[in-house]
Amino acid sequence: MKVYERILPLFAAEGIDTIFGIPDPNFVHMFHLAEERGWNVVAPHHEESAGFMAEAVSRMTGKAAVCIGTLGPGVANLAGAMMCAKVENSPVIFLGGQRARITEQRVRRGRI
């Protein structure tokens, strides 16, 4: 079982039915599965927008929200929304992508 196959039912058990973020190779299967299960997938043009949308929804509804950021700069773009959620005590779950360890070793092999 893949992590996303296990994590979506856990989110659903908490009443979460919307994912905010930009589908990228790290999370595309999670986005597809969420859509297949009838979830709302909100994919704006920028991760920062996704983060603030998730924070706003959680603040307005009082329910947890999920926001996904892509590897590297995508997660960095969520920093403002993360701080806003922390300061406002908004229940937002932020997930960030990561390159597989084997890929990272190949990429960094030519490092100076």
Helix (H, G, I), strand (E, B) or coil at 68: strand
CATH of 3-108, one of 3.40.50.300, 1.20.1200.10, 3.40.50.970, 3.50.50.60: 3.40.50.970
Enter the pTM of the model: 0.83
Write out pLDDT tens, residues 25-36. Answer: 888 899 999 999
- Which residues, in sequence order, are bridge partners of residue 42? 20
Q: Per the structure block, which two tokens stand in for 4?
A: 């996303």
- The model's pLDDT over 34-46, given as tens digits with 9 standing for 90+, comes to 999 999 999 999 9
SS3 75: helix
The residue type at 109:
R
| Residues 109, 26: Cα–Cα separation, whole Å | 22
Domain residue ranges of the chain, discontinuous segments joined by +: 3-108
For tokens 């030519």, the residue is 110
DSSP state for residue 87 in the 8-state scheme: H
